[in-house]
Amino acid sequence: QVQLVESGGKLVQAGGSLRLSCAASGGTFSNYGMGWFRQAPGKEREFVAGIKWNIGSTYYTNSVKGRFTISRDNAKNTVYLQMNSLKPEDTAVYYCAAHARAGYISSYYNPNEYDYWGQGTQVTVSS
């Protein structure tokens, strides 16, 4: 059973930066495609960023391109989300997710492609 634990969320002013971490345990992290999603109050969960198992490719939703960077350290079983130039509309609970099933992930943007989810970490950006 894979466990994912996010950390790093907090209250920050607009224009500030945060780095979220997601530590994985209980599986072969280096084999997993990983993603970050977020959910704001009253809204559906949305894709933020994804990264392939071999760190070869990354994916972002348009609203965070140029501001957020996803990365991973397979030696530490950890995926990161560096968030810069934060905006109030980035306020949400941020979740990391792992694609652990056999086969390639068809779309990092699709939450149904992920098998395990963390409990989430709150990011609040004040104006």
If pLDDT is split at 50, 70 and 90, which confidence band does 106 have?
Answer: confident
* SS3 labels along the chain: CCEEEEECCCEEECCCCEEEEEEEECCCHHHCEEEEEEECCCCCCEEEEEECCCCCCEEECHHHCCCEEEEEECCCCEEEEEECCCCHHHCEEEEEEEECCCCCCCCCCCHHHCCEECCCEEEEEEC
Arithmetic mean of pLDDT over the chain: 95
The model's pLDDT over 41-82, given as tens digits with 9 standing for 90+, comes to 999 999 999 999 877 799 999 999 999 999 999 999 999 999
